[in-house]
Amino acid sequence: MKKAVILLLLMVIGVTGCGKKNDAGADIIGGSDGPTAIYVAPEIEELPVNESPQESVKDEENKKEDSLKKITDEQALLAIKNYCYKNNPDLEEMEKSEDYTIYWDVDSSDEKQTVVLFRSYTGAIIRYYIDPVSGDTYVTEFVSGITDSEEKTDESFNVRDYLEEGSVSKESSLTIEGTWQTASVSYEADGSMQPEYYVQFTDTQINYGHMKDNEFVVDHSDKISLLDKTKEGGYKVRAISDSGVEYTYQTSESDSTVLEYFETWNEDEFADMYRGGASLSKQ
């Protein structure tokens, strides 16, 4: 029995001497006389995870879309004018002449599409349907007495190719001069009556304010979406308030010193959306 215990003890001592760890974490395998082999575990290199082709293409498309700023109504209108002038150089002189009825207008506008209407000297009504992000444009035409309705043509182009080109680009700095005032009035602290707002225009915004010591002081401003001349030589201004209200100022047909206020951009709704108190008269 004693021999069995001694033999078992020797086996335990032998086993504990078969595997040691060096300082580097390697296993030293050998007997009691010294190591006969050193095994070092290889380091596993972490390889970079490559993006899938679909993710790369999607990222590029997103970057491209983000780089394209939305075309404003004013830019769309000017670009269509440039397009028309380029395709018919005589239009510019014809527009100035009283012998022809020619005009352009933003017919409708929303987040997905802008429609610019062109009334040709031939009487044809041509509409340009514009994607405000990509700039892709297709064209329709209606000629009273010839076509029954608006018909799509084979004409298509990208309106971005005609932004800020030619003489029309000068109109982008169009402004309405002077100080205007609302028809509505308010009472001051001293009991005197004053216009509810005095108004001044820049090429990008409408400034509403009051007069202090004969100086105009801005209270708040609304962003201009479209500023253009009408076919009668007056002004049309489309703007949007901070609260999201879309409205239009347009020169009165009977008085060039009055800008009539319509609480809509849609001309078909002008009759119902006219607000006399918010209309402006020039000082």
Per the structure, the complete domain to which residue 124 belongs is given by: 73-172
Q: Are 245 and 154 contained in the same domain?
A: no
Give residue for tokens 């084979």: 154
CA dist list (Å): 72 to 41, 138, 280: 65, 17, 25
d(CA 130, CA 160): 10
Split at pLDDT 50, 70, 90, the class of 17 is very low
d(CA 178, CA 221): 16
The answer to whether position 105 is within a domain reads: yes
Confidence at residue 262, expressed as pLDDT on a 0 to 100 scale: 96
* Count of domains for the chain: 2
d(CA 229, CA 145): 29
d(CA 206, CA 188): 23
Among 129, 144, 172, identify where a domain stops. Answer: 172
Q: Are 232 and 271 contained in the same domain?
A: yes
Cite the DSSP H helix spans in the chain: 2-16, 53-67, 73-87, 91-96, 270-273
Q: Are 201 and 118 contained in the same domain?
A: no
Q: Are 184 and 277 contained in the same domain?
A: yes
Q: Are 94 and 156 contained in the same domain?
A: yes
Confidence at residue 56, expressed as pLDDT on a 0 to 100 scale: 58
Q: How many CB atoms lie within 10 A of CB 241?
A: 15
Among 149, 172, 195, identify where a domain stops. Answer: 172
The answer to whether position 37 is within a domain reads: no
Q: Which stretch of DSSP H or E encloses residue 257?
A: none
Q: Are 162 and 184 contained in the same domain?
A: no
Q: Are 162 and 189 contained in the same domain?
A: no
For residues 256 and 278, the answer to whether their CB atoms sit within 8 Å is no
Q: Are 224 and 155 contained in the same domain?
A: no
Q: Are 144 and 212 contained in the same domain?
A: no
User: Comparing 18-27, 69-78, 226-235, which segment has the lowest mean pLDDT?
Assistant: 18-27
Give residue for tokens 């030619």: 166
Report the pLDDT averaged over residues 104-123: 91
Among 157, 172, 187, identify where a domain stops. Answer: 172
* pLDDT tens track for 34-53: 555 555 555 655 555 555 55
CA dist list (Å): 55 to 46, 47, 68, 78: 22, 19, 20, 38
Q: Are 193 and 278 contained in the same domain?
A: yes
Report the pLDDT averaged over residues 101-111: 89
Q: Are 187 and 164 contained in the same domain?
A: no
The answer to whether position 55 is within a domain reads: no
Q: Is the pLDDT of residue 166 over 60?
A: no
Confidence at residue 173, expressed as pLDDT on a 0 to 100 scale: 54
Split at pLDDT 50, 70, 90, the class of 153 is very high
The answer to whether position 255 is within a domain reads: yes
The answer to whether position 217 is within a domain reads: yes
For residues 101 and 121, the answer to whether their CB atoms sit within 8 Å is yes
Q: Are 168 and 187 contained in the same domain?
A: no
The answer to whether position 199 is within a domain reads: yes
